[in-house]
Chains A and B, each alone.
Chain A
Amino acid sequence: MNYVLRKLGFYAVALWAAVTLNFLIPRLLPGNPVDILLAKLQQRGGTVTPETREAYAALLGGDTTDSLLQQYGTYLSNLLRGDLGVSVTYFPTPVSEVIGTSMPWTVVLVGIATVLAATIGVLLGAFVGWRPGTWLDSAVPLTTLLAAVPYFWLALVLVYLLSRVLGWFPSQGGYDVVLDPGWSPEFIASAIEYGFVPALTIVVASIGGWLLGMRNMMVSTLSEDYVLTARAKGLPHGQVMRNYAARNAVLPSVAGFAISLGFVVSGSVVTEQVFSYPGIGSRLLAAVTNNDYALMQGVFLFITLAVLGANLVVDLLYGLIDPRTRAKA
């Protein structure tokens, strides 16, 4: 269980680092976010009492007389109570509520798209890498084009082709606005219809990396002695490919999940802007354009939290797949 403890410890440190970064960024950078934010708040018809000012100062720093350490304490305790301030953009909704309504959209979209891309990419990579040098294998470098395509640009092109030219899919939003959000079949069907192009964007743009990583590991694994032994024993090719080569070759792809997920999340944040998707990415951008610092910080914190959580799960699973990681400690 040492492995699990070590991983939990690491993610605790990572979480602390993210929280602290969130605390330090507005305090170290130029500009006075509290003033800008309060001015916006007044424009939106919010009343600015000294208490409001104090609450935002705890979140963002500014003209308080407290020492940095005291501010840090107030910030952490507010955070633990789930108090992230009030969003200016969606005044008077609290930040936590804005995040709560938009988070599921992104988590489901990015989650499904990532799992699909990883599965298809790894399977294709194993298949291609099994026979290095064939025409299929020599076409693998073409996938680098996909990997180098900016997500949001691919989104623009797909919207242009699928929605504007062919008219197959709606181009904006996350669901048909005449429907009420809920678990009704019509609503889910509409969410799938609207989510198809965004998901396709993410899958197409991220599949290349998985395929390539798996292919390269597969080629390396093929020259291992145990693969040669398995072949010499006369085992069926499929069995050698699946149980001897692919199982070992997939390990680095799983271990590298952190990097890929970070990429996908970064890409999808910008992509949501293209689709006006009701997810967390468009909230982040709305926050940035409106100088809604409280919402900005909250969204960043939650994105980080989600990414850390997903990585923790994958790391724990990795410990199950590869016994060596548990023994190493």
Chain B
Amino acid sequence: MTNIGPDVQVAVEGPGGPVETTAPTTPPEPRPAGRARPAWRLLLPTMTPWLATGLVLIAGVVLLGVVGPYLVGDPDAISDVGLSGPSAEHWLGTTQTGQDVLAQLAYATRGSLQIGLMVGVLATVLSAFFGIYGAYLGGAADEVFSLLSNVFLVIPGLPLVIVISGFVPRESRGLWTIAVVLALTSWAASARVLRAQTLSVRARDYVAASRLSGEKPWRVIGVEILPNLLPVLASQFVYAVIAAILGEAGLSFLGLGASNASTLGTMLFYAQNGFALPLGAWWWFVPPGLVIALFGMGLSLVNFSIDEIINPRLKNARTARRRAKAAARVARKAAR
């Protein structure tokens, strides 16, 4: 979650012109009830049960990946208790060669998080460049950038990644190679979203004003436009991380992942090739996928709340319903 909170808060100084005079620059003191909430609070998601669930899921998986490796034993250590189910000694059982599944899971989670973060950042930077910069320039540059992202959008990503990984010799297939390839094939969708948003922000008066007053392009984009796009950027980043973790897992499952990294996909690869399925060793192949699914679910739930900032109608629908319910309750009480 740490990757979203601070980003959104930076927007305090951002929204520029209209609110500048009223937006408080210091963290708000506890205010008497009834006063309007500070403007920047509108940029933070409202805490809902689902958002809380999402944060807990993310925190759990991140803890497993960051702290876990220090608590578990050596993931590669083999023993003579091969392919045993969960027990007090091995909480998640053992693999065919007696490796502890929990230890492997902790290290693999770390690997997957690492690549997810790397690709997430790379893909977001790429999509911001093609989406925001293209839309800001307008004209022919916009047409070309937009065409490029639309073409990348319709070319199916994973088959392309598989082909590229197939051509790269195994010894030069490092973590960064895989990250760059995944980022190159996954930026297009968010570039399109960002372009649409930028076009609408660019048409606002204060952007025109700052351009007319001779501000440099990087300043207009960085100070006037970007802050308005932060919720969208945050949500696209979250999607990029999910897509990267899923894509890398698929790639590693096929044995095409980074040769020097161990991720959840590699774990599934070994489970599949160690005949975990025919042998019925569910404790070997269920946990890695479950970690991916739960982490992805956590991120999506956070995105839900970000979506409510981008599209307030979603939030209004929720709050209106709640108010209607409360009103009905009051009416019932009064009638009694």
Contacts and interface: CB of A to CB of B under 8 A. Distances in A.
Q: Do A and B come from one complex?
A: yes
Interface of A: 10-11, 13-14, 17-18, 21-22, 25-26, 29-31, 33, 132-134, 138, 141, 144-145, 147-154, 156-157, 159-160, 164, 171, 216, 219-220, 222-223, 258-259, 261-262, 265-267, 269-270, 273-274, 284-285, 287-289, 291, 293, 296-297, 299-300, 303-304, 307-308, 311
A239 B189 CA distance: 34
B254 A288 contact: yes
A7 to B, nearest CB: 11
B318 interface: yes
B214 interface: no
Interface in B242-300: 242, 246-247, 249-250, 253-256, 268, 272, 277-278, 280, 282, 285-286, 288-289, 292-297, 299-300
Interface string B307-336: 100010110111011100100000000000
Contacts of A25: 163-164, 167
Contact of B295 (A148, A164, A216, A304): A148
A-B pairs with lowest CB-CB distance, top 5: A148-B296, A133-B321, A153-B289, A266-B158, A144-B300
Given A14-B155, A262-B154, A284-B162, A30 B297 contact: no
Contact of B250 (A138, A267, A284, A307): A267
A300 B185 CA distance: 14
Contacts of A145: 293-294, 296-297
A134 B154 CA distance: 36
A10 B282 CA distance: 47
Contacts of A269: 158-159, 162
User: Which residue among B163, B316, B322 has the maximum number of chain A CB atoms within 10 Å of its CB?
Assistant: B163
B250 A152 contact: yes
B156 interface: yes
Interface stretch (B81-89, B134-142, B145-153, B223-231): B145-153
A220 B311 contact: yes
B293 A296 contact: no
B157 A220 contact: no
B285 A153 contact: yes
B272 to A, nearest CB: 7
Interface string B172-197: 10000000000000000100000000
A148 B168 contact: no
Contacts of A30: 168-169, 172
Nearest to B242: A148
Given A153-B292, A270-B254, A308-B154, A288 B297 contact: no
A109 to B, nearest CB: 15
A64 to B, nearest CB: 18
B159 A164 contact: no
Nearest to A22: B163
14 contacts: A10-B147, A21-B160, A30-B168, A134-B321, A150-B246, A150-B253, A153-B289, A156-B277, A171-B277, A220-B314, A265-B158, A266-B250, A269-B158, A285-B254
Nearest to A161: B282
A265 B285 contact: no
Contact of B166 (A222, A267, A288): A288
A87 to B, nearest CB: 14
A157 B289 contact: yes
B105 interface: no
B155 A223 contact: no
B289 A156 contact: yes
B183 to A, nearest CB: 15
A95 B94 CA distance: 42
Contact of A132 (B242, B272, B321): B321
Contacts of A288: 162-163, 165-166, 254, 256
A159 B255 CA distance: 21
Nearest to A14: B151
B301 interface: yes
B50 interface: yes
B206 interface: no
Nearest to A33: B167
Given A133-B321, A288-B256, A307 B156 contact: yes
B129 interface: no
Nearest to A264: B156
Given A216-B311, A269-B162, A141 B317 contact: no
A269 B296 CA distance: 21
Contacts of B158: 265-267, 269-270
B204 to A, nearest CB: 21
B282 to A, nearest CB: 6
A259 B304 contact: no
A275 to B, nearest CB: 11
Given A156-B277, A265-B156, A216 B293 contact: no
B264 to A, nearest CB: 9
Contacts of A29: 164, 167-168
A308 B289 CA distance: 30
B111 to A, nearest CB: 15
A265 B285 CA distance: 23
A184 to B, nearest CB: 30
Given A141-B53, A284-B162, A304-B156, 6 more contacts: A25-B164, A144-B296, A149-B293, A267-B250, A270-B254, A303-B156
Contact of A160 (B165, B255, B280): B280
B323 to A, nearest CB: 10
A223 B277 CA distance: 50
Given A262-B157, A266-B156, A293-B166, A160 B311 contact: no
